Amino acid sequence: MQAIDIKLLVEWLGVEGASVGLRKSDLSLSEIQLIATTNQIPYSPKTKRNDLITLLVGTLGKRIDKTLDQLMEMDAGALRAYLEARKPSRVELSMILSELGLKPTKQGIRKLLDLAAREISDAGMYKRVAQGKTK
């Protein structure tokens, strides 16, 4: 089997396109497990094929390279610029918002980038205030 660069696949097709492409491919579960092992992505041996594909694409397709704490240190404008430059998927933004206990409404999904920048920045501001820091 020829090596498959999942990061490149996600760059070309996006998270959703790469997921669909891998699901419809002829790759067996053992071949997908080999890709996960090669990329040092931990998984349970009981993980199903589609779940492993979701894990692979989600992990290797991440575009946000900062921790939640680092994102929370940024003001809304800087965070929005960072998110625009990184171009994360809706799934990735939703996962970060869920870490903060937030679930966007249908209207919020349309403006997910704005919502994520504002909410993460606000959470960071509250955290800094609670710790006695000003910025």
- What averages of pLDDT result for each successive group of 10 residues across the chain (135 residues)? 83 88 94 92 93 90 90 91 87 83 71 79 87 70
What pTM did the predictor assign?
Answer: 0.61
pLDDT at res. 7: 87
| Virtual torsion, Cα 86, 89, 91, 97, nearest 10 deg | 40
Domains in the chain: boundaries: 6-60, 68-130
pLDDT at res. 1: 63
14 in the Ramachandran plot: left (φ > 0), alpha (ψ -120 to 50) or beta?
left
pLDDT at res. 18: 92
